[in-house]
Amino acid sequence: MMKNINTKISEIEKLLERIEDPQTEMEEAEKLVAKARAALDECYNFLKEEPKEE
């Protein structure tokens, strides 16, 4: 369960910086892309799910 969407977004931004860095090996970049994509999906799903009672 995601607690703070802004923290998640910051994580994605950091992943993107590494993906876009030419120093990052292609193989590593591919793994990071998959990770960033999963985090993005998590954020979109978070908004579409009804918040639960806490």
Partner 1 sequence: MDRDFIDLSDLLDIIAEGVETAVPESVWVRAEISSISVNRSGHCYMELSQSENGKTVSQARCIIWANVFRQISPYFEGQTGSPLAAGQKVLLRVSVEMSRLYGMSLIADDVDPSYTLGDAKRRQRETLERLEKEGLVKAQRELCLSELPRRFAVISAEGAAGYRDFMRHLHENESGCRFYTRLFPAPMQGADCAAGIAAALEDVVASGIHFDAVLILRGGGGSLDLSCYDEYQMCSAIALCPFPVLTAIGHDQDVHICDMVAWDSVKTPTALADYFLDAVSLVTSRLDRLSERLKNAGRTRISLLLSRLDVLKARLEAADPENLLKKGYILVTGDNGGLVKRASQTHSGEKLVLRFPDGKVEVIVV
Residues that bind partner 1 (CB under 8 A): 4-6, 9, 12-13, 16, 19-20, 22, 26, 29, 33, 36-37, 40, 43-44, 47-54
Q: How far is CA 46 from CA 9, 12, 34, 39, in A?
A: 12, 15, 18, 10
Q: In the bound complex, what is the minimum distance in angstroms from residue 35's beta carbon to partner 1?
A: 10
Q: In the bound complex, what is the minimum distance in angstroms from residue 15's beta carbon to partner 1?
A: 9
Alpha-carbon Rg for the chain, nearest whole angstrom, is: 13
How many Cα atoms within 13 Å fall on the side-chain side of residue 13?
6
Q: In the bound complex, what is the minimum distance in angstroms from residue 44's beta carbon to partner 1?
A: 6
